[in-house]
Structure 1
Amino acid sequence: MRTIRRVAGLGVTAALLLTACGGGGDTSNDSASGGKIAVGMPIDVTTFDPHKSLTGPFMQYLTPVYDTLIRRTSDAKLEPAVATSWKYTSTDRRTFELKLRSDVTFSDGTKLDAAAVKKNLEHAKADGGPFASSLASVSSVTAPDANTVDLKLSGAVPDLDFVLAGPLGMLVSPKSLTGDALNRTPAGSGPYTLSSSSVPGQRYVYKARKDYWNAKAVGADSLELSVMPDNDARLNALRSGQIDMTVVFPQQAQTVKSAGLQLLSKPLNFLGLGLLDRAGTKAPQLGDVRVRQAMNYAVDRDALVKAVTFGYGTSWNQIFPPSSAGASDTAGKQYPYDLAKAKDLLAKAGYAKGFTLPVFSESRFSSYLEALDGQLRKVGIKLDIKLVQSGLTQSWGTTDNPAPMFVYGVDDVYQAVKLFALKDSAYNPFKADSPAIRKNFEAAEAATDDAARDGAYQKISDEITDQAWFLVTHVQDSLYAVNDKKVSGVEMYTGNSVPFVYGWKVIG
C-alpha cells in the first residue's frame, strides 16, 4: 500500500495576511468594460512584494496592481510599458538605459519617475527574492533626469530586458519599499488596486483605477480572485457560473470541452522530483549518483505520460523545455527505460533491496506521484509522499525536503540556471556545486552570439542530466478553462502557467 500523508497547508498562508488589504480606492475605471470577472485560484498568494515572488499562478495576484518597466506579450515579445525605450549605450554592453513615461502615478498618489525606478531596482536586487541573482551584475543605478534610468553592469546579463519584464521589473511605490507591510498590501502603479473588502486567504477583490494611463490594460470594473485549492471544486465552480475562469489539469480537459467552455493550452512545465540532497545529508541514498541515475532509468516516461496527461504532455528528461535554447539532443538520449540497468546501478550502490524516499508535494499532484511511485517500486524504491494544500515552491528552497515534487517551466535558460543550478541558487538548498556547470555558465555570459550562448546552455543541460540532479518525467501543457461567453481577452503567456491580467473584458 502506498504511503501518502496529507497535512495542513504550509508556507505563507492567512497567518501572514491577517492585516486588512487596503490598497487604494474602490472606484472603477471609466474605460473599463464594466462588471466583475471571478477567477478560481489553485493556491493562495504568498507575498504582494513582487521582488520576492515567483511567477506561475502568483502572477494573477500581481499583474492587476503592478506595472512592469517593459511589457512581455503573450507570445513573448517585448513592448513599451512604463519604459518607452531601452538600449545598451556602450559597445561593451555594460551600460543599459531606460527612458520612462512621464504620466504614471502609483495608487497612493506618488509620481512614478526615475528616482522611484532607481529605488525599485535597488530593492529588487537586495530583496533576496528567487530571481534577485538576475540583477547581481547591476553594480549601480542612476537617475540622470526624471525620465532616464541608467544601469551600470559589472558583467553581462544576456536577458536583461526580459528580466525587467518580469517580477523584478514590477514597480512599487517607494513609500512601501520599507517594512513588511508590502507582503500583505500591494502598492503599485497598475490598472487595479486591492480592495479592503478582500478576505486574506480566501478572496482578493481588485477595483479598476480611474486614473490609470493605459486604457488597453483595463477591462472589467472589478476582479475577484478566490482561493480554491481543490481541483474538482474549482472546475465545478466554473461549470456552475460561480467563477469565470481557472487553471485545470489534463484529466479535466474533456469535462471542460463537454461543458462548452474554452480550453486554452500551452506546453510549459516539466514535472518530476528535485533530487536536491545530492550530498546525501538527509537522504543518504541520493548522495550516490548511481542511485539518482537508477531512478531515471526506472521510469517508463511514455507510459507515465499516457497515463497522467491525457494527450497534453510529452516525454522529457531535462529541466529546460524543448522549445528553449538549453534543450540538448545529447541529454535527450539519456535514460531510456531500462529496469535491468536501474537494478544494476542500485545494487552497485548498495541498495539492491531498494529504499524509501520522502517526497513533499501539494495535493493537486497526488495522482501523478502515485503513478510515479508505482513505477519506482519495480526496482524497490518506495515514495513516502507527504501532501499539503500549499507550500510546494517554498519547499524547494529549504533543506527540510531532500526530494520535493517539482513543477516548473521557463523558456529563459539564464534565469533557470540562476534559480536551480549554481551553488548559491535559491532552489539549490543543499549547495550542490558543479565546476562544469560554472564553466559553461561563465561561457554563456561571455558569449557574443546566440550560437555560442546556446551551446553553453546545452552543455549545462548535459551535465545536470548526466548527474541526475532531477528526475524529470515529462513536459506538461498548462491548461486554462474560460467561460468565453462571458469573458474575452484571456490569453496564455509563453513561459507562464496562467494568463496575465491584461485587458480582460466582460462580454455584453
Structure 2
Amino acid sequence: MTELYSSTPSAPTRRTTLRAAGGGTLLLGLGLAGCRSAVSEAEAPAGKAGAGPRRGGTLTVAVNTDFTPSLLFAQSGQSLQQRLIYNTLTRYDDRLRPQPELATSWEYVEGGRSVTLKLREGVTYHDGRPFTADDVIFAVKNLQNPLRAAQLRATAAAVTGFEKRGDHELVLKLAHPVNNLFDLFEFMVITDRHSVEDAVSGKRLNGTGPFELTKWSPGAGLSLTRNEKYWQPGRPYLDGVEIRVVPQADALLSSLRSGQSQLSFSVPGKNLAVVKSTPGLAVSEYSTGGGAYYLGVNTTVAPLHDKTVRQALAWGIDRERILKQVLGGYGLASATPWPKSSPAFTEAGRTHYTYDPGKARELLRSAGHTRLDLPLLHVNLPGETAVAEAVQYDLKQIGVQVTLQPTDPATAQKHLIAQTMPGLWTMGHGFAQVQPSTLAVSAYPFNEAKNTSRFRSAAYTKVVRDAWTGPATGAAANALRQRITDTLLDEAFIIDLVIRGSVQVSAAKLRGVTLNKFSYLNLDDAHLVD
C-alpha cells in the first residue's frame, strides 16, 4: 500500500498534494479492536484459489430506530445507511489520514485558504446522471443551509468560493483556514442536487453509492438493491440489503440468534454476553470511539445555572458501574468526550471526575441545596433507558430526585437541535473521534456558538475558534485542546459518562463490514460465506 503523505494534511500550513495509488481506489476500513471488520483478515474464507469472495445474497441489518428523512444531513442514530446509498469525498483511515473516495487527490495552497480537488471520473448517480464538480458545489452549499441542521455547517460555511476547472476538478476557497476540512469531506454525503427535496421527504434517495433504495416502509425499514453501475469494479458483492427496524431488545436479539438478521450495532450492552455465547455470532468493538453517553444540563434552569451544582452532579455518577452493567464492559468510563484515539485524550482528563457521592453532597450543600427535584429526558430505547435509570439511581444517593421523561428518538433529536431540553437529559454524542476542534464547533451539545445547554462564554468561544482555525498538530494545538478540555470539565454543562465504540454483532458467515468515523456503514466489500 502506497503512503499518501508524510504529515497530517488537515493542517493546511504548506502546499500538500495527495494522490491515489496507481489511480485506483484506496478505501481503508476503520480499525476494530485488533481487526478491520467483524472477522480478522486471517479468518477470511479461502474458497477456490483466486476465486475471491462469493457474489450474491441479501444481508439483513437489524436497527432499533427508523430512518428519518428530515435528518438526512445531520448526524444521528439513524445515519447507518448513509454510505450504502451515497458516497463521500474522502474517508479517514484509523490514524485520521484521509483516503480517496469521490475525490482522488487534493492540494492545499500556502496558508490553507484554498484546496484543489481532483474528482473521480466515470461515476454516475443511480438514475444514470454523471457525477461532476457541480454536485460537490451543491453538497457544500446544501450543508450551509440552516434548514439541514448539519452539525458541520460552520465548516461548510468557511467555504466562500468555488472555481470549476472542468467537470472533475474544483477549487474550494476558504474565508479562513480550518483544520477539520476532511471531517466535512467524510461527513458530507454527495446527494443528487436535482432531487434533494424528495430526499428529505423520503420519496427518493438518488446517490452514487453501492446500493439503490427500492422502498422505504416507515416504521419497518429500508430495502436496497445492488447498484449495477457502481464505480468500483465488481462491487458490491451483495445482491441487496434489508434494514429492518426492531425496537425491542428481546426481539432484536432473537432476530440475530435465529438468523433472521445477520448484522446489528444496536444490541444493548447487557445482552452482549448472551450473544458471545451464541454459536454462529461474533461480537467486535470498533475502537475508534465513535460516540459517548453523557448527561446534558440546561444551564438556564435554576439551580443548574450554578456550576457548583453541575460539578456536584459530575462527581455523583458512577461511570464504571454504567460501563459494566449497561454497556457490558464495552467502552471506556470517562469524564471527557475524547476516545483514546483522539489527540485530545489525556488520562488526567478521563479520570477528573470519579465517583465520590460524599464530595457531591458537600458541593450541593455549599451551593445551598440538600434536595433537588429535576426532570430528565431520555430516548425510549433499551440501552438509553438503562443509562438514564443508572443516572437516576446515582443522583438519588446525593439528594437529587430525577423524574424520567422517555421520548422517541426523532423527538429527542429535535429537542436537541432546538435547544428545548428540560433541566437534564441523557443521550449519546459523536464528533470527538475526528479532529478535536470539530466537537466544539459542530456537535449540538458542545457548539460554542449555540449549544443545547445554552451555555455561553466568550472565553470558550475564543479558545474553540483558535483551535479550529489553527494548526492540527504541535504544541500550540495541544495547548488549545487542553484549554477546551479544562473548560468542559470546569463548567460541566455537558457531563460525559462513558465513551462507547460501536459494537458490531454479526453472523460468523458475514465478512468485510466496516464503518467510517461517523458510523456510516460500508458494505462495498461485504460478502457471505457458506
TM-score normalised by the shorter chain: which range applies?
Answer: 0.7 to 0.9
Contact 1:67/1:188 (<8 A) preserved? yes
Deviations 1:159-213 (A, max 9, x none): 21232022x2x211221135665544211111111014x4222121101121111
Q: Call closer, same or farther: CA 1:313–1:64 in 2, change over 3 Å.
A: closer
Greater Cα offset, 207-216 or 98-107: 207-216
- The match for 1:390 is 409
**1:258 aligned residue:** 277
Shift of the 421–308 alpha-carbon distance from structure 1 to 2, 3 Å rule, reads closer
Asked if structure 2 preserves the Cα contact closer than 8 Å seen for 1:320 and 1:461, the reply is no
Tell me the residue number matched to 1:189.
208
Partners of 1:353 and 1:119 in 2: CA distance: 53
Task: Determine whether 1:65 maps to 2:85.
Answer: yes
Q: Which residue of 2 aligns with 1:7?
A: none
Q: Is 1:212 aligned with 2:233?
A: no
Asked whether the 8 Å contact 1:421–1:437 carries over to 2, the reply is no
In the alignment, what sits opposite 2:19? Answer: none
| Alignment partner of 1:82 is 2:107 | no
Tell me what 1:447 maps to: 470
Q: Is the 8 A contact 2:318 2:394 kept in 1?
A: yes
Q: Report the counterpart of residue 354 of structure 1 in structure 2.
A: 372
| Aligned pair partner of 2:447 in 414, 422, 425 | 422
Q: 1:404 aligns with which of 413, 425, 449?
A: 425
Q: Look up the equivalent residue of 2:101 and give its one-letter code.
A: A
Deviation of the 1:310 alpha carbon:
2.9
TM-score (structure 1 length as normaliser)? 0.85
Residue 319 of structure 1: CA displacement? 2.0
Q: Secondary structure at the match of 1:406?
A: strand
Q: Deviations over 1:76-103 (max 9, x none)?
A: 5432221111121x21110111011220
User: 1:118-129 residue pairs with structure 2 within 5 A?
Assistant: 118-126=137-145, 127-129=148-150
Normalised by the size of structure 2, how large is the TM-score? Answer: 0.82
Q: CA deviation at 1:142?
A: 2.4
How many Å separate the matches in 1 of 2:138 and 2:504?
36
How far did 1:382 drift? 1.7
Cα 1:60–1:448 change in 2 (3 A) is closer
Aligned ranges for residues 174-185 of structure 1 at < 5 Å?
Answer: 174-178=193-197, 183-185=202-204
Q: Give the alignment partner of residue 185 of structure 2, picking from 164, 187, 195.
A: 164
Pick from 119, 135, 142 the counterpart of residue 163 of structure 2: 142
Q: Identify which range, 373-382 or 497-506, moves more after superposition.
A: 497-506
Deviates more, 1:415-424 or 1:284-293: 415-424
Contact preservation (8 Å) 2:213, 2:225: yes
Determine if the alignment matches structure 1 residue 502 to structure 2 residue 527.
Answer: no
- Cα drift, residue 216 of structure 1: 5.7
| Aligned positions of 1:330-349 closer than 5 A | 330-349=348-367
Whether 1:45 aligns to 2:67 is yes
Provide the secondary structure at the position in 2 that maps to 1:63: helix
Q: 1:265 to 1:96 in 2, by over 3 A?
A: same
For the aligned residues, what is the CA RMSD? Answer: 2.4
| Aligned partners of 1:271 and 1:475 also within 8 Å | yes
State the distance in 2 between where 1:131 and 1:190 align: 21
| Conservation of the 8 A alpha-carbon contact between 1:101 and 1:147 | yes
What do the CA deviations read for 1:368-398 (whole angstroms, capped 9, x no partner)? Answer: 2222211111111122112234234333223
C-alpha spacing 1:496/1:263, structure 2 compared with 1 (3 Å):
farther
Residue 418 of structure 2 aligns to which amino acid in structure 1? T
Aligned residues: 464
Cα deviation digits, residues 228-258 of structure 1 (max 9, x gap) = 1112211110111111111223211221111
| Helix, strand or coil at the partner of 2:525 | coil
| Structure 1 letter corresponding to 2:274 | T
| Native 8 Å contact 1:86 1:99 kept in 2 | yes
CA distance in 2, matches of 1:120, 1:352: 52
The answer (yes or no) to whether the contact 2:71–2:149 under 8 Å persists in 1 is no
Q: Distance in 1 between matches of 2:462 and 2:495?
A: 23
Rounded Cα–Cα distance in structure 1 between residues aligned with 2:139 and 2:501: 34
**What secondary structure, in the 3-state scheme, does the structure 1 residue paired with 2:449 have?**
coil
Q: Which amino acid aligns with 2:427?
A: F
**In the superposition, relative to structure 1, how do residues 62 and 93 fare at CA in structure 2: closer, same or farther (>3 Å)?**
same
Compared with structure 1, are the counterparts of its residues 123 and 497 closer, same or farther at alpha carbon in structure 2 (3 Å cutoff)? closer
Any conservation in 1 of the 2:75–2:518 contact (CA below 8 Å)?
Answer: no
Cα 1:443–1:130 shift into 2, 3 Å:
closer
Task: Work out the CA distance in 2 between the residues paired with 1:184 and 1:461.
Answer: 42
Say which of 85, 89, 99 aligns to 2:118.
Answer: 99
Q: Is the 8 A contact 1:272 1:407 kept in 2?
A: yes
Equivalent position of 1:313 in the other structure: 331
User: 8 Å contact 1:32–1:221 — kept in the other structure?
Assistant: no
User: Displacement, 1:329?
Assistant: 4.8
Question: What CA deviation, in whole Å up to 9, does each residue of 1:121-176 have, x standing for no partner?
Answer: 2222224422212212111122121111110001111021232022x2x2112211
SS at match of 1:296: helix
Distance 1:393 1:320, change over 3 A: farther
What displacement does 1:491 show?
A: 3.0
Q: Percent identity over the alignment? A: 23
Go from structure 1 to structure 2 and tell me whether the alpha carbon gap of 1:107 and 1:49 turns closer, same or farther (over 3 Å shift): farther
